[in-house]
Every structure is written in C-alpha cells, then in structure tokens.
Structure 1
Amino acid sequence: MYRVIEVARMLGVSKVTIYKKVNKNKKILKNHIHTRSNITYIDDVGVDIIKDTIEINSSNIYSGSNDVDELKKEYLDDMSETIDFLSSQIQIKKKQIQKKDEIIEAYKSILKSNRGKLQYLDSKINQVN
C-alpha cells in the first residue's frame, strides 16, 4: 500500500494529478483505494491502473526537446489542476463549517432551554426551603 504522495513520486506527477485520476476512475479503483485517518492509500493494482491512465511521454522528458513554451504550459496545467483540487477542498470545508455552525446554534438553544429549567428548579427548591 502506498500513500498518494508516494504514488505521485513513483509516476513523476503531482499528487493533485493522482487525486484527479482517482476521482475520474472511482469505479475501477474502488477496491484498490483505502482511507485511514484521512490518508489515502493505493495498493499495487491501483497504482498500475493509475499508471495506465497517465499519459507519460518519456521520450520528450529525457531528450531535452521540450521548449520553454511547453514547460510553461505543463506548469500552468499543473497549477490549474492544483487550483481545481484546492477549490473543491474549500467547498468541502465551507460545508463542514456551515454544519458546525448549525450544531453550535442547536447547542446554544439547548443551553438556553436548560438554563430556564435550572432557574425554575432553583425557584422550586427555594420555595420548599
């Protein structure tokens, strides 16, 4: 089992690329992806599946034939993928914060109700004494 960052290093791509490939191929990778403590692990078969989905042009990588424009485009594409991934994470966090706020409001309401009940009980105890 490999962490996403390890798979990314093995395949020479960013971890964002790996996450995108995982999301695009969820059905195929379903039994090969495991998450524990918010860490995603991929088994050997899953790594092979991801490897097959990534288009690697190794001849250009090692021949030095990439010109500056191609490198810039690759960099911009990678940054765009990163932005997309982070944007989706922001949306998830916004939903989590909204849920937290709703829970806090519910607790405030319960506390307010309990304060009233405590005051009522205190007054009854004082009447008995």
Structure 2
Amino acid sequence: MARILALDFGTKRTGVAVTDTLQIIASGLTTVNTKELLTFLKDYTQKEEVELFLVGEPKQMDNTASESEAYIIPFLSKLEKAFPKIPIKRVDERFTSKMAFQTMIDSGLSKKQRQNKALIDEISATIILQDYLHSK
C-alpha cells in the first residue's frame, strides 16, 4: 500500500503529515515553507509512494469557505498539474489548530514550545489525517 499525505496549507508554511504504508497510523512529518512545498512534495514522492493528497479545507462556522481558501485554490491547481496521477481530497479542517494547541498543552510542552507555529501546523496536519483515517 502507498502512503496518504495530509497538508495543513498556510500562506507562510504548511504542516505535513503522513500515514504508514498500511494506512493505519498518522504521523507528523514536517512543516515546510509554503514557497518550497511543491519541491518538497516532488522530492518526497520520488522516495515514497503516495496514493492520495489530503488538503485541509478551512470553513467558517456557517459552512462557507474561509478567506484563506482564496490562497488554497491556486495551490490545488499547481498540485494537480505537478502530480496528475495522485488524487486530491479536501477535508474539513475546522478547529484543527485549536485541537493541535490543546494537544501540545496535554503533552506537557512548555509555553515557549507551544509558541512554535510550525509545530502547530504539523500537528494540525496530523489531526486532519487521523480524522480521515477514522472516517474511512
């Protein structure tokens, strides 16, 4: 089986999470500068087989698209062109950043460590991926 890669897309940086090859466990992989994201994904997919990209879909409480969706749409177009054989699925990402922050608190991370926005993005991508695996 191939891996599933989840992205918590942001204008500055993007959190990346990945499954094991059996698609049972979601793990945080890294946080990448968004400008370098496609290059990172190309390098990663040359080393590992990826069967699906999960991309967080930010929504408002009333289920309408978030303002950041305007930045995600052009990225999705580039992602599709760069990886025409790998499907892209959108997943509701509401509350993942808050859940990631709470996870950091529950893990006993210090206040200084919890200010690491890159870690929050990576944990958010992991939560997106884990939720997807649970729903499958």
TM-score (norm. length: structure 1): 0.27
In terms of fraction of residues, the more strand-rich structure is: 2
Bigger CA radius of gyration: 1
- Choose between structure 1 and 2: higher helix proportion: 1
